[in-house]
Structure 1
Amino acid sequence: MSSLRAKIQDVFNEPACEQNRGKDAKARKKGCSKPLTPGAAAGGCAFDGAKIVLQPITDVAHLIHAPLACEGNSWDNRGAASSGPTLWRTSFTTDLSELDVVMGQGERKLFKAIREIKEAYRPPAIFVYPTCVTALIGDDIEAVCKRAAEKFGLPVVPVNAPGFVGSKNLGNKLAGEALLEHVIGTVEPGDAGPYDINILGEFNLSGEFWLVKPLLDRLGIRVRACIPGDARYFDIACAHRARAAMMVCSTALINLARKMEQRWDIPFFEGSFYGITDTSEALRQISQLLVKKGADPEILGRTDALIAEEEAIAWKKLAAYRPRLEGKRVLLNTGGVKSWSVVHALMEIGIKIVGTSVKKSTVGDKERIKQILKDDNHMFEQMTPRELYAMLSEHKADIMLSGGRTQFIALKAKTPWLDINQERQHPYAGYDGMVELVRQIDLAIHNPIWRQVREPAPWDCQPAVREELPSTKSETATLHVVQKFAGTTADDFGEC
C-alpha cells in the first residue's frame, strides 16, 4: 500500500496540469476531485476509471481479483470497438467468496486464475486489477503477478487502483502509471521510423478513430500506438519509439504524455478530432511536431493539400444542412474535451450554444470555451436535473446533447436529445464524423414525433358544445352518451 500511496501523491502533484499548478501545497494534496462518500454514487471509482482506460486494449486478458459484483458492474461500460482481437470482451474474475476472504485464499486463487487464462487463451499479457475487498484484506497483488510472470513466461501487469482510493479520473491516471511502469518500453520495435506517432486518450468509441486513421495513412504517418482505443499490447510496449504524440483527453492521461516526453523525448500537444477546423489543426500540428523531430518538411505541403481537399468535400456535404440548422439552439451537457471541441464544431455550421457544462473540464478547456464563445455566461459547472428540465421545458434550447443519464429529462420536457457520450451509436470524429453529427442533429430536431408529442392529448380537448347528460347511472345514460358521440370527428371538437 505504501507504493500505491506514493503513486497517488505523484498523480496529485501532476505538473502538466494547469489547474494543479495553480493550487497551494495543501490543496494539491487533496487531489482533483471531491472526496468520495462511502455508499454514495460518485460517477465511478478509481477501479472503474482504470478499467475504462485499459479494457480497450483488445488482445489482453483483463482479470479482476475481487468478488463477482465488481466485474459485473464494470464490464463493457464503454462502446469502444476493435478491428481484430475480441479477448477484451471476455470477462475474467477470481470471484472471491466470503470463505476465500476469511481463510486467506485470495492470492492462491489469483495465481490459479492466471494459470488457467494462460493455458486456455494464451494472451500476450494479463492485466490484474485489485478492488476494494482484495486491497483491504492485504493481498499482495504485485508479488503474485511477478511470480506468475516468471512461472508462465508472459507479462502479468498489476493495475493498483482499488476503488476506495479515489474517483474515476484518479483511476485513469493510475492506469497510465501501470503502463509506464510495466508495459511501455519493454519491447524494441524493428521498424521504428520518422513518421511514427502516439495518440493518447482516444477510446475509439463507436469506431470513430477509424474515420481519422485513413487521413494519417494518406500522409504516410503511422500510429505506433493508440492508447487505449483498438490497441494491441505489442504496440503499446513499443510506444516509446514514437516521434510525437497527440493528447485527445488530457484529464485521463496527461501524466502519461508528460512522463513519456521526459523519458523518451516524445513531444505532445492537446488537440481534438471533433469538427472540421479542429481536425485540420490537429493534422497540421502532428506534421509540425514530426518535422521538428527530423521528418522531411515536404509533409507540411502534403498535409495542407489533404486538408484543402477534405474540407471542400465536408463543407459541400454540410451545405445541405445549414438552412435547416442555422440559428438552432443547443444545450451541451457533457464535460472534458467535448465541452469545447463539440462547441467549436457546432458553431462552424451556424448552431447557437445556449449552454455547455464544464464538469471534468480542465482550466485549459474552460479557456478554450471562453475564446470560442467570447464570454463565460454560457458555461455552467453543474446543472441539476430540475434546472435542466426548466430550461428545456421553457424552450430555451431546440435540442440537448448529453449522455444517457440525462436523456429522460429531455424526453420529459418533450425536447429532442442526442447521445454524444461513450454509449453513442455513431462516430463523430474527423471530417466524415462531423457530417454524421450534423446529420443526426438534423434528424433529431426535425423528427415529426416532436410535433405530435407536444400536442395536447385527445382527452384534454373539450367538446365545442356540451349537453347535460342524465344524472342517473342507468343503462339509459350510457346509451345516451353512445348515441350522442357516435360518428363524431375531430372537427366536432373545439380548440384544445
Structure 2
Amino acid sequence: MSSLRAKIQDVFNEPACEQNRGKNAKARKEGCSKPLTPGAAAGGCAFDGAKIVLQPITDVAHLIHAPLACEGNSWDNRGAASSGPTLWRTSFTTDLTELDVVMGQGERKLFKAIREIKEAYGPPAIFVYPTCVTALIGDDIEAVCKRAAEKFGLPVVPVNAPGFVGSKNLGNKLAGEALLEHVIGTVEPDDAGLYDINILGEFNLAGEFWLVKPLLDRLGIRVRACIPGDARYFDIACAHRARAAMMVCSTALINLASQMEQRWDIPFFEGSFYGITDTSEALRQISQLLVKKGADPEILGRTEALIAEEEAIAWKKLAAYRPRLEGKRVLLNTGGVKSWSVVHALMEIGIEIVGTSVKKSTVEDKERIKQILKDDNHIFEQMAARELFAMLSEHKADILLSGGRTQFIALKAKTPWLDINQERQHPYAGYDGMVELVRQIDLAIHSPIWCQVREPAPWDCQPAVREELPRTKSETATLHAVQKFAGTTADDLGEC
C-alpha cells in the first residue's frame, strides 16, 4: 500500500498542468480533484476509471481479481469499438468468495485463473485489476503477476487501482502509469518511421476514430498507437518510437503524454476532432510536429490541400441544415474536451449555446470556453437536476446534449435530447462526424413527436357542453327518488 500511496502522489505532481506548476509542493501533491467520500462513488471509483482506459485494448484479456459484482458493475461501460479482436468483450473474474477471503486463497485462485486464460485463449497479455476487497485483504498482485509472467511466458500486467484510493479520474491516470511501467517500451519495432504518431485519450466511441484515421492515411501519417481506442498490445508496447503525439482528453491521460515526452522525447499537443475548424487545426498541428521531428516539410502543403478539399465538402453538406438550425438554442451538460470542442463546433453553423457544464473540465478547458462564448454566465460548474428541469421547462433551450443520466430530465420537460457521451450510437468526430452530429440534432429537434407530447392530455381538456335532451317520465321519477334518498335537491346536484 505504501508503494501505491507514493504512486498516487506522483500522479498528482503533474508538470504538464500549468495550474499545478503554480502551486507549492504541499498543494501540488493534494491534486485538483475532490477526495472520494466512502459510499458516494457516483461517477465512478478508481477501479472503474482504470478499467475504462484499458478495456478498449482489444486483444488483451482483462482479469478482475475480486468478487463477482465488481466485474459485473464495471463491464462494458463504454461504447468503444474494435476493428478486429473480440477478446476484450469476454469478461474474466476470479469470483472471490467469502470462503476464499477467510482461507487466504485469493492469490492461489488468481494464479490459477491466469493459467486457465493462457491455455484457453492464448492472449498476447493479461491485465489484472485488484479491487477494494483484494487490496484490503493484502493480496500481493504484483508478485503473483510477476511469477505468472515467468511461468507462462507472456506479459501479466498488474493495474494497481483499487476503488477506494480515489475517483474515476485518478483511476484513469493510474492506468496510464501501469502502461508506462509495464507495457510501453517493452518491444522494439522494426518499421519505425518519420511519420508515426500516437493518439492519446481517444476511446473510439461508436467507431468515430475510424472517420479520422482515413484522413491521416491520405497524408501518409501512420498511427503507431491509439491509446486506448481499438488498440493492440503490440502497438502500445512500441508506442515509444512514435515521433509526435496528440492528446485528445487531457483530463484522463495527461500524465501519460508528459511522461512519454520526458522519457522518449515525443512532443504532444492537446486538440480535438470535434467540429470542422478543430479537426483542421489538429491535422495542421500533427504535420507541424512531424516536420519539427525530421519529416519532409512538403507534408504541410499536402495537409492544407486535404483540409481545403474536406472543408468544402463538409460545408456543402451542412448548408442544407443551416436554415433549419440557425438560432436554435442548445444546452450542454457534459465535460472534458467536449465542453469546449462541441461548443465551438455547434457555433460554427449558427447554433446558440445557452449553457455548458464544466464539472469534469480542466482549467485550460474552462479558459477555452470563456474565449469562445465570451460570457461567463453560460458556464456552469454543476447544474442540479431541479435547475436543469426548470431551465428546460421554461423553454430556454431547444435541445439538451448530455449523457444518459440526464435524458429523463429532458424527456420529463418535453424537450428533445441527444446523447453525446460515451453511450452514444453515432460517431461525431472528423468532418463526416460533424455532419452526422448536425443531422442528429436536426432530427431530434424537428421530430413530430414533440408537437404531440406538448399538447394537453385528453383528460385535461374541457368536454364539449352537450345539449340537454328531454327526460321521460320514468327517468324523472328515478331522479327524484335518488335525490330524496340522498337528501338533496336538483339545485344541490346542479346539471346532471
* TM-score range normalised by the length of the shorter chain: over 0.9
Distance 1:409 1:479, change over 3 A: farther
Residue 71 of structure 2 corresponds to residue 71 of structure 1: yes
- 1:454 Cα deviation from its structure 2 partner: 0.3
SS of alignment partner, residue 294 of structure 1: coil
SS of alignment partner, residue 473 of structure 2: coil
- 1:82 Cα deviation from its structure 2 partner: 0.1
Q: Distance in 2 between matches of 1:495 and 1:295?
A: 91
Distance 1:485 1:66, change over 3 A: farther
Distance 1:372 1:98, change over 3 A: same
- 1:466 Cα deviation from its structure 2 partner: 5.3
Distance 1:253 1:466, change over 3 A: same
- 1:375 Cα deviation from its structure 2 partner: 2.2
- 1:461 Cα deviation from its structure 2 partner: 1.1
- 1:26 Cα deviation from its structure 2 partner: 3.7
Distance 1:50 1:461, change over 3 A: same
Q: Distance in 2 between matches of 1:490 and 1:208?
A: 72
Q: Is the 8 Å Cα contact of residues 462 and 493 (structure 1) preserved in structure 2?
A: no
- 1:27 Cα deviation from its structure 2 partner: 3.3
- CA deviations 1:99-126 (Å, max 9, x no partner) are 0000100000000000000000000000
Unaligned runs of 5+ in 2: none
- 1:41 Cα deviation from its structure 2 partner: 3.3
- 1:213 Cα deviation from its structure 2 partner: 0.1
Q: Distance in 1 between matches of 2:208 and 2:42?
A: 28
SS of alignment partner, residue 173 of structure 1: helix
SS of alignment partner, residue 161 of structure 2: coil
- CA deviations 1:444-489 (Å, max 9, x no partner) are 0000000000000111111342567999999999999999999999
- CA deviations 1:45-75 (Å, max 9, x no partner) are 0000000000000000000000000000000
| Deviates most, 209-218 or 30-39 | 30-39
SS of alignment partner, residue 234 of structure 2: helix
SS of alignment partner, residue 191 of structure 1: coil
- 1:291 Cα deviation from its structure 2 partner: 0.1
Q: Distance in 2 between matches of 1:301 and 1:401?
A: 37
Q: Distance in 2 between matches of 1:401 and 1:495?
A: 51
Q: Is the 8 Å Cα contact of residues 200 and 248 (structure 2) preserved in structure 1?
A: yes
- 1:18 Cα deviation from its structure 2 partner: 2.7
Q: Is the 8 Å Cα contact of residues 310 and 431 (structure 1) preserved in structure 2?
A: yes
- CA deviations 1:14-37 (Å, max 9, x no partner) are 111233234444433333322222
Q: Is the 8 Å Cα contact of residues 483 and 489 (structure 2) preserved in structure 1?
A: no
Q: Distance in 1 between matches of 2:422 and 2:202?
A: 11
Percent identity reads 96
- 1:342 Cα deviation from its structure 2 partner: 0.2
Q: Is the 8 Å Cα contact of residues 18 and 362 (structure 1) preserved in structure 2?
A: no
- CA deviations 1:182-213 (Å, max 9, x no partner) are 00000000000000000000000000000000
Distance 1:438 1:458, change over 3 A: same
- 1:39 Cα deviation from its structure 2 partner: 1.6
- CA deviations 1:284-307 (Å, max 9, x no partner) are 000000000000000000000000
1:81-92 equivalence runs, <5 A = 81-92=81-92
Distance 1:244 1:462, change over 3 A: same
Q: Distance in 1 between matches of 2:241 and 2:312?
A: 35
- 1:330 Cα deviation from its structure 2 partner: 0.1
Q: Is the 8 Å Cα contact of residues 80 and 205 (structure 1) preserved in structure 2?
A: yes
Distance 1:385 1:227, change over 3 A: same
Q: Is the 8 Å Cα contact of residues 247 and 270 (structure 1) preserved in structure 2?
A: yes
Distance 1:76 1:255, change over 3 A: same
CA RMSD of aligned residues (A): 5.0
- CA deviations 1:386-423 (Å, max 9, x no partner) are 00000000000000000000000000000000000000
Greater radius of gyration (CA): 2
- CA deviations 1:244-273 (Å, max 9, x no partner) are 000000000000000000000000000000
Count of aligned positions: 496
Q: Is the 8 Å Cα contact of residues 224 and 242 (structure 1) preserved in structure 2?
A: yes
Distance 1:490 1:384, change over 3 A: farther
